[in-house]
Amino acid sequence: MNYRKPYPVDNVAPPDPENIILFGKERESMLAHEDALERPTGEAARSFDYEGEIAVVIGRIARRVTTDQAMSHVLGYSAFNDGSVRDWQKHSVYAGKNFARSGAWGPWITTADELPPPQDLELTVTLNDEVVQHAFGREMIFSVAEQLAYASNLFTLYPGDVIATGSPDGTGGSRSPKRFLIPGDKVKISVGANCTLINSV
């Protein structure tokens, strides 16, 4: 939860979290640009959701950095789809976020010097060419610098590490009626003007 919105699992808008909420993504859960997202089988297929996010890519080792130091460790930014199975997320965030081939990032890294500051980065998500999510980095509850500083005090961040910064309102689980992914859907996630991640189901 890093944007103010109804929580897509229960559609209730919670108060702002006091602390940053972290979880990890397994390598097998992530795909590249234009790879096909794999809709889960069985009951899990009924709540397969998209989540567009701004991804931050680490360029220098960061360990116990402050918010003032954090941005000097950023290489650049990319687009991220934190594919989620909402029904499984109810009992385990880790499970709901780690179905094989459910998410993606890319298609490339745009270096920080080619983009505006993260608070001015624009995130736009379309589902079958309909805009379903739109936000700017300034709408995050915790800034990119705060997220990096927090994470670096738990563990070392290495060059190439990717941190997804949270998803704004508009995911399928937050809509009324709910709109989960089905075969043939196409998700496009754009960060800035020149980075668009495209994946079909």
pLDDT of res. 10: 67
- pLDDT of 12 > 90? The answer is no
Question: DSSP labels for 37-89?
Answer: P-PPPGGGGGGEE--EEEEEEE-S-BSS--HHHHGGGEEEEEEEE--EEHHHH
CATH assignment of the domain containing 37? 3.90.850.10
- Distance from C-alpha of 57 to C-alpha of 195, rounded to nearest angstrom: 14
Q: Is residue 57 within 8 Å of residue 162, measured between CB atoms? A: yes
Dump pLDDT digits (tens) for 27-80. Answer: 999 999 999 999 999 999 999 999 999 999 999 999 999 999 999 999 999 999
**Is residue 144 one of the residues assigned to a domain?**
yes
Q: What is the mean pLDDT of the chain?
A: 96
**Is residue 1 one of the residues assigned to a domain?**
no
**Is residue 160 one of the residues assigned to a domain?**
yes
Question: Region 150-178: what's the mean pLDDT?
Answer: 97
**Is residue 181 one of the residues assigned to a domain?**
yes
Question: DSSP labels for 146-191?
Answer: HHHHHHHTTS-B-TT-EEE----S--GGGSSS-----TT-EEEEEE
**Is residue 2 one of the residues assigned to a domain?**
no
Domain ranges, residue 99: 27-196
**Is residue 180 one of the residues assigned to a domain?**
yes
Domain total of the chain: 1
Dump pLDDT digits (tens) for 127-143. Answer: 999 999 999 999 999 99
Q: How confident is the model at residue 13 (pLDDT cuts 50, 70, 90)?
A: confident
**Is residue 17 one of the residues assigned to a domain?**
no
Quick one: CA dihedral 31, 37, 43, 47, positive or negative? positive
